[in-house]
Amino acid sequence: MPLEPLLPLFHRLNREHFDGALVHGVQPVLSVRWSDGRMRRTAGMYRRGPGVAPPLGREIVLSRPLLDPLPRSATESTLCHEMIHAWVDLVLRVEESHGPNFRARMAQINRTQSRFEVSVRHRFPVPVKPARWMAVCPCCGRAVPYRRKVRNAACRPCCERHHGGVWHASCLLRFEPIVPSVSDVDG
């Protein structure tokens, strides 16, 4: 489905599920936009801060790469999810992620309509990036794949077993690059 403009959808959801609380007059109190193509692992996000979407300082961004191939209900569900975050922050003035206020509004929205379902976690297909690193514990030899190096990461089982559950440099993971096999490259 081609990407649709988000503002008309935002205004409809705001009227239907937020009693118009996310607009001042006719203007949204936050920016709403599609991502520029870089959001590939998250369907949407609500952000706020001094450098975010000047002059408003808050925005909802939906992932163009993830939502473009999916049905409209995926866009509605994701936008509504992010609007709940904005509503909890801007209207209730509560600092929570998926806490009781978020879950209560989500349940209310799901009870009152059937076009889409809002959930805490989206179940959209996300392309999986292969691991580039193997993290190896110098104590036990356990190897775990990682997509990126993590500074000061230690083997938790060894820290628990040998150091009372406290991080210790002797358990610091060693990151080794994973060399793709010929079959992985030819695909």
pLDDT one-digit tens code per residue, 162-171: 999 899 999 9
Between these two residues, 151 and 186, which has the higher pLDDT value?
A: 151
DSSP code for 129: P
Is residue 84 within 8 Å of residue 101, measured between CB atoms? no
Which among 3, 2, 71, 70 has a CA at the least distance from the CA of 32?
Answer: 3
Per-residue pLDDT, 1: 43
What confidence tier does 185 reach under pLDDT thresholds 50, 70, 90? very low
Provide φ and ψ at 129, rounded to 5°.
-85, 135
Per-residue pLDDT, 159: 93
Q: 87: Cβ–Cβ under 8 A, 6 or more apart, which residues?
A: 18, 21, 22, 105
Max alpha carbon distance in the chain (Å)? Answer: 63
pLDDT one-digit tens code per residue, 99-124: 999 999 999 999 999 999 999 988 77
**DSSP-derived pairing of the beta strands 27-28 and 31-34:** unpaired
Alpha-carbon gap, residue 10 to 86, rounded angstroms: 12
Q: What global pTM score does this model have?
A: 0.69
Cβ–Cβ contacts within 10 Å for residue 27, how many? 8
Is residue 179 within 8 Å of residue 166, measured between CB atoms? no
Alpha-carbon gap, residue 3 to 63, rounded angstroms: 10
Alpha-carbon gap, residue 67 to 75, rounded angstroms: 6
Alpha-carbon gap, residue 24 to 30, rounded angstroms: 10
Mean pLDDT of the chain: 90
